[in-house]
Amino acid sequence: MFFHRRRRAPGRRRARGFTLAEMSVALGIHTLIMAGVASVFWLSARSVKEIYGPARSCASRITALNQIRLRLADATIGSCVFFPGDSYHKIQFDDPNLGTTSEFEFDTVERVLYYDDDIAAGDDARDLLEGPINITFRAGGDGVGVDALVTVFVQTSAELAYSRVDEREGETVVYLRNPMATP
């Protein structure tokens, strides 16, 4: 008995690894599960963009209209100066509450609405909001007196899924509250 065979302990089997077939099946199942998870994330991102894009656009439009209406309504009737050479993106008006000449200006390149409460002071205008793609100011509206009304147009846009763009406009007529100064 030169060669003696060692016996294994009872209940102990030889350790084996996975076969190539078992690994291929496991890898295939893992790939299917990960592809499903990735598609759920992709569909969720597109749905969020589709739903919240127009909502952000609408919020930007309403905020612009509210900020302009809040400040412009205090203007003196007949004091508004419009700038057709600037494509009506700028308006100056007298604000008797502040005792100054104020100004709104929309920068089409930066897409920012600026407000300067005192243009004579020479300080920089502050930006009220970003986002709208076009804001214009026109005299009059609804066929009523030109001196007492200002029509404001605000256009916003939002990129949606599938490479579509949602462009909408908002329009409001601002009634100037303060009467003309009597000489």
pLDDT digits 0-9 by tens, 70-88: 889 889 888 888 888 888 8
Of 77, 34, 8, 49, give the one whose Cα is nearest residue 159. Answer: 49
Residue 139's pLDDT is 86
**pLDDT band for position 164 (50/70/90)?**
low
Angle among Cα 43, 45, 46 to the nearest 5 degrees reads 65
Residue 15's pLDDT is 63
Cα dihedral 109→113→119→124 (10° resolution): -70
Separation between Cα atoms, residue 108 and residue 17, nearest integer Å: 67
Tracing tokens 């509206």 back to the chain, one arrives at: 141
